[in-house]
């Protein structure tokens, strides 16, 4: 009798173990399937699907795109490539001479309209936004590119960040982006009401610095992380108005801000980067887990997906690796500054 009782207990335990094994297997298969489908979607978005047709956003029908930080680097490329697609462009940046030269180039090369406005977003003056509103008030705007931005001059501990740099980063990256977008949204809504079948588009530049909390770039990192939540929330608000809102995440790009001049597989020039953005509008690419977000350049997309699905963007390991990288960059930058004195 005792043997029978022991055997029954063992049989019961075996059933529980088997059930747990099946559950674990099912979870593993589900996770593997999800990862496979996610990565397949990334490859489809980046390499297979055809480029987005900007006629959806009013290209070649007299509609206007507004680009901030338009005179150099990524902003200049947005202006050139949108003009090439048949959008009239409003160019907003600090230096009038650069804006005039770019406007002349665009008009001669692409035969579209241009308007320019030279303002310093760091000043955070009400007159800046009054000037933007006045310039745009009669234009059928369908596209806004929130490109203007600022980072730290070199990696720096938060407590050593100068008051001017701290305030400029928050003012330019956040306040200017929000206030400009508040001006432009009603214009896009009005244009779409008069042009059924056309969609609106708001693209805002994010960064790996906002994707991963970045020691020694804490203020910049926080400003870009803010744009992630804001942009995704705005996308939900404007979806019913047929306005597509998307945060564009990038790793390094050769530019004055990054201070990098040489391209590589992971560091494209502005032309290649912007081409990837405009080709894949509305697709998540590497940002598979994020709503209204895209990491469009192919190597950045793979990097984003890999980090998210291995150590995680908020992990201690990712934070530590990021810290060590920027400590090294800071050391080299300080050494270069010392030589220049």
Q: Report yes or no on 16 lying in a domain.
A: no
98 pLDDT above the threshold of 80: yes
Instruction: State mean pLDDT over 2-15.
Output: 59
pLDDT score, position 2? 46
Which of 3-7, 154-158, 210-214, 325-329 shows the lowest mean pLDDT across its residues? 3-7
Summarised one tens digit per residue, pLDDT across range 233-245 is 999 999 999 999 9
- Does residue 5 lie in a domain region? no
**Residue closest to 303 by CA, chosen among 281, 316, 276, 285:** 285
Mean pLDDT for the stretch of residues 178-192: 98
Q: What is the CATH number of the domain that holds 273?
A: 3.40.50.720
Whether 80 is covered by a domain: the verdict is yes
Q: Does 32 map to a domain?
A: no
Supply the pLDDT for residue 26: 87
Please tell me the predicted confidence (pLDDT) of residue 341: 61
* pLDDT score, position 6: 58
Beta strands (DSSP E) in 192-328 are 200-205, 243-248, 293-294
Q: What is the pLDDT at residue 233? A: 98
pTM (2 d.p.): 0.92
Give the DSSP letter of residue 91. Answer: E
- 199 lies in some domain: yes
pLDDT at position 3 is 47
In a domain, 87, yes or no: yes
Q: Is 207 annotated as a binding residue?
A: yes
| Whole-number Cα distances in Å, 80 to 15, 67, 92, 256, 270 | 67, 11, 14, 18, 11
pLDDT of residue 296: 98
Interval 283-303: pLDDT, tens: 999 999 999 999 999 999 999
Q: What are phi and psi of 337, to 5 degrees?
A: -65, -40
Please tell me the distance from the alpha carbon of residue 82 to that of residue 103, in angstroms, as a whole number.
13
Please report the pLDDT score of residue 9 as a whole number: 58
What is the span of the domain harbouring residue 304? 53-340
> DSSP string spanning 279-310?
HTTT--BT-TTSTTEEB-SHHHHHHHHHHHTT
**Percent of the chain scored above 70 by pLDDT?**
96
* pLDDT at residue number 1: 44
What are 16-39's pLDDT values in tens digits?
A: 888 888 888 888 889 899 999 999
Does 24 reside within a domain? no
Q: For residue range 192-225, what is the model confidence (pLDDT) as tens digits? A: 999 999 999 999 999 999 999 999 999 999 999 9
In a domain, 44, yes or no: no
Counted domains in the chain:
1
The mean predicted confidence, pLDDT, of the chain is 95
Indicate which residues carry an active-site annotation: 220
Residue 68: exposed, middle, or buried by beta-carbon count in 10 A (0-12, 13-18, 19+)? buried
């Amino acid at each position: 009798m005792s043997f029978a009782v022991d055997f029954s207990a063992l049989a019961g335990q075996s059933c529980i173990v088997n059930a747990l094994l099946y559950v674990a297997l099912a979870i593993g298969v589900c996770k593997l399937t999800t990862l496979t489908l996610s990565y397949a979607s990334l490859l489809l978005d980046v390499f297979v699907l055809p480029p987005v047709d900007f006629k959806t956003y009013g290209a070649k029908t007299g509609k206007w795109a507004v680009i901030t930080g338009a005179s150099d680097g990524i902003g200049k490329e947005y202006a050139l490539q949108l003009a090439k697609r048949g959008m009239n462009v409003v160019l907003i940046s600090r230096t009038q001479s650069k804006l005039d030269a770019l406007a002349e180039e665009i008009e001669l090369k692409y035969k579209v309209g241009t308007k320019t406005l030279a303002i310093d977003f760091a000043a955070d003056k009400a007159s800046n936004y009054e000037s933007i509103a006045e310039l745009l008030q009669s234009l059928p705007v369908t596209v806004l590119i929130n490109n203007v931005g600022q980072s730290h001059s070199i990696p720096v501990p938060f407590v050593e960040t100068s008051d001017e740099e701290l305030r400029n980063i928050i003012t330019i990256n956040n306040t200017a982006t929000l206030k400009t977008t508040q001006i432009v949204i009603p214009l896009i809504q009005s244009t779409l009401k008069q042009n059924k079948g056309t969609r609106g588009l708001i693209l805002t530049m994010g960064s790996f610095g906002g994707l991963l909390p970045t020691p020694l770039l804490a203020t910049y990192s926080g400003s870009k992380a803010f744009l992630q939540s804001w942009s995704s929330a705005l996308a939900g608000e404007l979806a019913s108005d047929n306005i597509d809102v998307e945060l564009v995440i990038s790793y390094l790009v050769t530019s004055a801000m990054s201070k990098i001049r040489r391209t590589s597989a992971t560091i494209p020039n502005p032309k290649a980067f912007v081409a990837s953005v405009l080709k894949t509008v509305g697709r998540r690419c590497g940002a598979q887990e994020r709503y209204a977000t895209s990491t469009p350049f192919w190597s950045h997309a793979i990097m984003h997906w890999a980090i998210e699905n291995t150590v995680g963007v908020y992990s201690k390991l990712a934070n530590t690796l990021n810290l060590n990288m920027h400590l090294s960059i800071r050391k080299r930058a300080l050494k270069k500054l010392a030589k220049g004195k």
